[in-house]
């Protein structure tokens, strides 16, 4: 096979049942747009069984091939350099060059970057406690994907020339022989074995808040995103927990990644990091948050207040300027624009202010380079970025892991999309962690910012405690 093959499947309003059909394969991942609530996110993507895994390892081997290597790679020190090199080689394949741009993903790289992957981009201190065993970066090179387009109401199995005939036959059989009963298959058991607790007391947070204010007043920075971590313990199947959270907290960038039987990511993010669609690059940073009201009148008052808030608008504008600078490193000169500022977006538990920054690139393999040069997203660091990240390292007691990193894909046809992994849980060998933070600026109020973290994460923690706590 010298070109990408498409196999039409029955249209799926979600790929949850298809995901269950391939969970026995290594490193399955579901990008789940929850489209009924968010029509602007049109595609769901399902992959499993990558041809290669790219991740840092103790023996300094950055890539592990399932079979004979496709390419001889020169980058051996920095995983982001290796990924850049790999994507350049992939995009030179004749079948990749001719791949249709109407699909978001035609095989390629998919996985996650932790917040600490920023150390592969910049020289940064690392004094926090590392108590989560998740790799700082883990990307798979996938040979096939199931793609649902909700706008077209189609579901297709996309098979690349990398995928051997035996695997292709097995995949077609798995998906075409699925019965309607599997859509209602009983979920596996899951339970929390302890309530969520924070790694900061209110007093701890107040002291750290005061330190940030001192840095701001002395001119070190303009904004710092300070987060606290909430941790619990669990037993059972985290995919069950993901599905329960999906129902009560629908978001456009939901994702479930099963890294190993003991490690998974349950992401319910509302925030896009970077999109690349046929050379058009777009980022949609979130800055400015308020809780939903308990009545329609209170809800409207809250959203009106947020839209008029000078503090939140100025905070948002700082991050827009930071992203304009980040995208300017790699996008075409003169292409950076800001078509939308301070747009209100509403979710199950909060209202947000969202802006849009865009640019252009002219080569397929540049999408991953734009991503790397802009990572991590400025909306979850502060400004200026490097100084803010140094302060975060000083003040936060633990690693952020997947929180404030990204779940991303880089397709053989040059397309790319990625989220900021906020509202995201990390399951790690029986421990379950999630985080919430906010951007602190000169006129921030300590109690208000502290309570905002609970507002952001409450829908996740309260749901899990209410439904699954023994």
Instruction: Report how far Cα 385 is from the mean position of its chain's Cα atoms.
Output: 19
CATH number belonging to domain 5-468: 3.60.120.10
CA–CA gap between residue 170 and residue 84 (Å, rounded): 31
pLDDT at site 470: 78
HEC assignment per residue over the chain: CCCCEEEEECCCCCCHHHHHHCCCCCCCEEEECCCCCCCCCCEEEEECCCCEEECCCCCCCCEEECCCCCCCCCCCCCHHHHHHHHHHHHHCCHHHHCCCCCCCCCCEEEEEECHHHHHHCCCCCCCCECCCCCCCEEEEEECEEEEEECCCCEEEEEECCCCCHHHHHHHHHHHHCCCHHHHHCCCCCEEECCCCEECCCHHHHHHHHHHHHHHHHCCCCCEEEEEEEEEEEEEECHHHHHHHHHHHCCCCEEEEEEEECCEEEEEEECCEEEEEECCEEEECCEEEEEECCCCHHHHHHHHHHHHHCHHHHHHHHHHHHHHHHHHHCCCCCCCCEEEEEEEEEECCCEEEEEEEEEEECCCCCHHHHHHHHHCCCHHHCEECHHHHHHHHHHHCCECCCCCCCEEEEEECCCCEEEECCCCEEEEECCEEEEEEEEEECCCCCHHHHHHHHHHHHHHHHHHHHHHHEC
287 in active site:
yes
Active-site residue (options: 116, 271, 449, 452) = 271
Residue in 284, 287, 385, 456 annotated catalytic: 287
| pTM of the shown model | 0.94
Other C-beta atoms closer than 10 Å to the C-beta of 40 total: 10
Domain range annotation of the chain = 5-468
Do 249 and 230 contact (CB within 8 A), yes or no? no
pLDDT in tens, the chain (470 residues): 589 999 999 999 999 999 999 999 999 999 998 767 676 688 999 999 999 999 997 666 799 999 999 999 998 889 999 999 999 999 999 999 999 889 999 999 999 999 999 999 999 999 999 999 999 999 999 999 999 999 899 999 999 999 999 999 999 999 987 744 454 456 789 999 999 999 999 999 999 999 999 999 999 999 999 999 999 999 999 999 999 999 999 999 999 999 999 999 999 999 999 999 999 999 988 888 888 898 999 999 999 999 998 888 988 888 899 899 999 999 999 999 999 999 998 887 788 899 999 999 999 889 999 999 999 999 899 999 999 999 999 999 999 999 999 999 999 999 999 999 999 999 999 999 999 999 999 999 999 999 999 999 999 999 999 999 97
Q: What's the pLDDT at 185?
A: 56
Is 300 marked active-site? Answer: no
pLDDT for position 40: 67
């Amino acid at each position: 096979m010298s070109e990408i093959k498409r196999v039409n499947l029955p249209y799926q309003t979600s790929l949850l049942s298809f995901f269950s059909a391939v969970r026995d394969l290594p490193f399955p991942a579901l990008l789940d747009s929850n489209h009924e609530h968010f029509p602007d996110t049109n595609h769901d993507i399902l992959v499993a069984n990558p041809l290669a895994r790219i991740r840092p390892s103790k023996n300094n081997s950055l890539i592990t091939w399932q079979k004979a290597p496709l390419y001889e790679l020169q980058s051996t020190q920095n995983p982001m350099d290796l990924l850049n090199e790999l994507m350049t080689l992939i995009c030179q394949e004749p079948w990749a060059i001719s791949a249709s741009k109407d699909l978001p993903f035609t095989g390629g790289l998919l996985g996650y970057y932790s917040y600490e992957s920023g150390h592969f981009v910049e020289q940064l201190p690392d004094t926090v406690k590392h108590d989560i065993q998740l790799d700082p970066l883990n990307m798979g090179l996938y040979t096939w994907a199931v793609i649902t387009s909700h706008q077209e109401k189609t579901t297709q199995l996309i098979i690349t020339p990398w995928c051997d005939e035996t695997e292709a036959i097995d995949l077609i059989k798995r998906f075409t022989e699925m019965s309607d009963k599997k859509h209602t298959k009983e979920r596996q058991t899951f339970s929390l074995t302890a309530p969520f607790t924070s790694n900061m007391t209110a007093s701890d947070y107040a002291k750290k808040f005061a330190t940030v204010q001192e840095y701001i007043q002395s001119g070190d920075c303009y904004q710092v995103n300070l987060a606290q971590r909430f941790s619990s313990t669990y037993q059972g199947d985290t995919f069950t927990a993901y599905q329960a959270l999906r129902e009560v907290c629908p978001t456009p960038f939901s994702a479930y990644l099963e890294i190993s039987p003991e490690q998974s990511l349950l992401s319910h993010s509302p925030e896009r990091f970077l999109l690349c669609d046929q050379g058009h690059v777009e980022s949609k940073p979130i800055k400015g948050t308020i809780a939903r009201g308990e009545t329609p009148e209170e809800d409207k008052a809250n959203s009106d207040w947020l839209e008029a808030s000078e503090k939140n608008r100025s905070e948002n504008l700082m991050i827009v300027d930071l992203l304009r600078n980040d995208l300017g490193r790699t996008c075409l000169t003169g292409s950076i624009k800001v078509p939308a500022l301070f747009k209100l977006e509403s979710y199950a538990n909060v209202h947000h202010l969202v802006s849009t920054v865009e640019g252009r690139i002219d080569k397929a393999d540049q999408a991953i380079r734009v991503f790397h040069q802009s990572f991590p997203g400025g909306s979850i660091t502060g400004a200026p970025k490097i100084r803010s990240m140094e302060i975060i390292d000083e003040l936060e007691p633990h690693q952020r892991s997947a929180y404030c990193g990204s779940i991303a894909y880089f397709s053989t046809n040059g397309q790319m999309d990625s989220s900021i992994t906020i509202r995201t849980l990390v399951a790690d060998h029986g421990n379950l962690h999630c985080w919430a933070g906010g951007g602190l600026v000169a006129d921030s109020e300590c109690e208000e910012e502290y309570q905002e973290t609970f507002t952001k994460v409450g829908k996740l923690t309260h749901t899990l405690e209410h439904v699954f706590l023994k």
